[in-house]
Chain A
Amino acid sequence: MRTLLLAFFMLFSTPALAGAQPPIIAAASDLQFALTEAAERFKAQTGAGVRLNFGSSGNFRRQIAQGAPFELYLSADEAYVFALHQEGHTLDEGTIYAIGRLAWLQRSQRGDLPDEAAPLAGVEQAIAASANGTRERIALANPEHAPYGVAAQQALSYASLWEPVAPLRVLGENVSQAAQFALADDARGGLVAYSLALAPALAQRSEYVLIPEEWHAPLRQRMVLTRQAGDVAKAFYAWLQEDEALAILKQYGFSTE
């Protein structure tokens, strides 16, 4: 009993918030791998760590408006950043850090990879197959709050496939989950961020083809410091605009110009 009590007290006497905690950063899930690598490099250089939270940009936009303690917000859609700025939650309008690309992703040996002229051939095949009773899912992020979901919807609409594909759509809570669904056994593939398709964890088990940029509105990804931003968050924000960070982003398929 005494040891139990002792364990209890030790649990409470070591608060997780002892001292200065690294700043919390909210980032769109297409940055899952690129930003993790950037943060490691930043830590190696400056000794300062950051805590990364990945999710859908729309959810983070809501959470920041509700007072979530994020110090830096990397959105996949700049509209969310502008909205937060108008509501007075950010220091300024932030800056564009990358332009994202959309890609068709399917697992290796899933069949023919569509070529760049007709990157949505897999979707058309899945729709045709569903008429014969085989159901192959098409994955995308939820367009209601995930920018890559919006881009996917636009690309499918551009190809006049949005309505026909309706019964086959499976929506991820964010684009990373959509990539997961795209590689599942009963999926034909999915429309996800190019940056995820290039990540080593996925590259080994999947293939991709880029969707032409003209098929959807540009994925202008903007980052911004919130009103709670401290020195480390500000330093990281500045560092992300330097050559070394830009090189990492480029390596994951973002254009940075």
Chain B
Amino acid sequence: MDWSALSVSLRLAALTCLFLLPVGIWAGRALATARFRGKGLCEALIALPLVLPPTVLGFYLLQQFGRDAPLGSVWATLTGGGLNFTFSGILLASLIANLPFAIQPIQRAFEHVPANLREAAWCSGLSPWQTLWRIELPLVWPGILSAAALTFAHTLGEFGVILMVGGAIDGETRTLAIAIYDRVQAFDEQGAARMSALLLFVSLTTLGLVYGLAGKRRWARG
């Protein structure tokens, strides 16, 4: 078992969730309730990482992250370091690649909150913030949970983008999925099999837990 790869994967997945969930709640709610010009384009852009080959996304990010590129140079002036082949770089790439996984389930959940419920809450004197905290979030909770689980599990398994941007550096950007690829190249099929089984187990447990919880909730509500 490649513990350093496991640790990189877990940190990456947890941080991606931590940063993306607030974004997902904000964007998901905005997209579910607001109507504005260019909403379709916004949704298309968010969904893009779902269909774009990871190598294409990775290629663009690799270029954008370079020290001469706009994004890379801003980062370099702020932090003094580069983005390519660093943990910060793969984290940023992972945040972009996971946008649809974090936003879409939350948006769907918000779309099922009736508009008149929100209006009723306002009429009863609740502020928009209180409405969000006390009425809406409890209702969309299963959506947030699925977003978290999908983002977490997807980050654990992400390969192409991370390999392009990260370069598979041990202890820094080599994730479990890449370590499995490396083990196969080293003709260490047992090592690859052990890590693959772990990834399968963690992914299935994460998803099973969430669908189980969401199902129970639906059942409890009748």
Complex CA–CA separation, A69 to B166 (angstroms)? 11
* Closest chain B residue, CB of each to CB of A67: B82
| CB closest residue in chain B, given A174 | B185
- Of B10-18, B118-126, B194-202, the one contacting chain A is B10-18
Let me know if A170 is at the binding interface, CB within 8 A. no
Query: Are B15 and A12 in touch, CB under 8 angstroms?
Result: yes
Task: Give the shortest distance, in Å, between A40 (CB) and chain B (any CB).
Answer: 14
Shortest Cβ distance from B84 into chain A, in angstroms?
A: 6
Contact residue among B10, B172, B184 (Cβ-Cβ distance under 8 Å from A11): B10
Tell me if A161 counts as interface (CB < 8 A to partner B).
no
Q: Contact partner of A24 among B10, B169, B184, CB < 8 A?
A: B169
Judge whether A53 and B185 touch: CB under 8 Å.
no
Residue among A17, A55, A66, A174 making CB contact with B172, cutoff 8 Å: A17
- Any chain A CB within 8 A of the CB of B43? no
B187 near A180 with CB under 8 A, answer yes
Is B49 positioned at the interface, with any CB of A under 8 Å from its CB? Answer: no
How distant is B202 from chain A, measured CB to nearest CB, in Å? 14
Chain B residues whose C-beta falls within 8 Å of the C-beta of A176 in the assembled complex: 185-186
Residues from chain B with Cβ under 8 Å of A52 in the complex: 170
What is the bound-complex CA distance between A180 and B66, given in angstroms? 33
**Nearest-CB residue, chain B, relative to A16:** B171
A21 contacts which of B85, B86, B171 (Cβ < 8 Å)? B171
Which residues of chain A are near B206, meaning CB under 8 Å?
A: none
Bound-state CA distance A127–B182 (Å) is 32
Check if B157 is an interface residue, CB within 8 A of chain A.
Answer: no
What is the distance, in angstroms, from B187's C-beta to the closest C-beta of chain A? 4
Whether A202 contacts B187 by the Cβ 8 Å rule is yes
Residue in A11, A55, A67 whose beta carbon sits within 8 Å of that of B168 in the complex? A55
A177 at the interface (CB under 8 A from B): yes
- A29–B187 alpha-carbon span in the complex (Å): 12
Q: Which residues does A use to contact B, with CB under 8 Å?
A: 8, 11-12, 14, 16-17, 21, 24, 29, 32-33, 36, 51-55, 63, 66-69, 174, 176-177, 179-180, 199, 201-202
